[in-house]
């Protein structure tokens, strides 16, 4: 295991306005839970990059791992504090794929058809992971396993489950919830829940 990072809160208090702490995250997803077959699973990294990638599950597990403890804030108003995620730092993917200068955003596409996107600058924080473990155990399919994005400084709909494709783009692409009126910036500390 590599570095462990702590990114659990915000100056002035643990919970953003309008949030309440819960012991466990309720299960949330938009369709059927995808099945995971480690023999056929792959992660594609494409778009505006110098080195496109296609990683098998074993390839992914072979990348250097980090752990990060952070809080998880849902737009519905609940938060789970001090969750310990393990996986590959998104910065490591950037270093391997080498985005081109014109790449400003990243779109994540998931097994169930879900999408979301973020500016590259938001993904370079050390606590942003492609997580395969939670609290020391491999993620179950119900919690986004085998692989989910974790972006602690955003509402949880930016932490996409069942990630299969990562595409670097020059333009912002609105994702599933963002195209339905949810905030694209999704900062819980500014209560950016919906498009104004």
The confidence score (pLDDT) of residue 11 equals: 41
The confidence score (pLDDT) of residue 2 equals: 54
Give the residue extent of every domain in the chain: 39-190
Between 26-35, 42-51, 82-91, 125-134, the lowest mean confidence (pLDDT) is in 26-35
Q: How far apart are CA 2 and CA 62, in angstroms?
A: 12
The confidence score (pLDDT) of residue 94 equals: 98
Q: How do residues 158-179 score in pLDDT, each as one tens digit? A: 999 999 999 999 999 999 999 9
Q: Average per-residue pLDDT in the chain?
A: 91
The residue among 191, 188, 171, 167 whose CA lies nearest residue 54 is 167
3-state secondary structure of 52: coil
CB 73 within 8 A of CB 8: no
Q: How far apart are CA 81 and CA 120, in angstroms?
A: 25
The confidence score (pLDDT) of residue 82 equals: 95
Q: How do residues 103-154 score in pLDDT, each as one tens digit? A: 999 999 999 999 999 999 999 999 999 999 999 999 999 999 999 999 999 9
Name the fold adopted by 39-190. Sulfite Oxidase; Chain A, domain 2 (3.90.420)
What is the side-by-side strand order in the sheet with 163-169?
53-56, 42-47, 163-169, 105-110, 115-119
């Amino acid at each position: 295991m590599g570095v462990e990072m702590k990114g659990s809160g915000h100056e002035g208090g643990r919970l953003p306005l309008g949030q309440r702490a819960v012991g466990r995250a309720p299960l949330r997803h938009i369709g059927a839970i995808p099945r995971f077959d480690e023999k056929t699973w792959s992660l594609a990294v494409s778009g505006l990059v110098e080195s496109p990638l296609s990683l098998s599950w074993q390839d992914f597990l072979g990348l250097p791992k980090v752990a990060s403890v952070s809080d998880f804030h849902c737009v519905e108003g609940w938060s789970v504090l001090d969750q310990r995620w393990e996986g590959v730092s998104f910065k490591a993917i950037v270093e391997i794929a080498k985005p081109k200068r014109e790449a400003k955003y990243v779109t994540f596409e998931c097994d169930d058809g879900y999408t979301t996107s973020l500016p590259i600058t938001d993904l370079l924080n050390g606590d942003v992971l492609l997580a395969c473990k939670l609290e020391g155990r491999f993620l179950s399919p119900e919690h986004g396993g085998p692989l989910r994005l974790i972006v602690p400084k955003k509402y949880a709909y930016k932490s996409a489950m069942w990630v299969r494709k990562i595409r670097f783009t020059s333009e912002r692409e609105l994702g599933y919830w963002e195209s339905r009126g949810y905030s694209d910036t999704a900062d819980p500390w500014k209560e950016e829940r919906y498009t104004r």
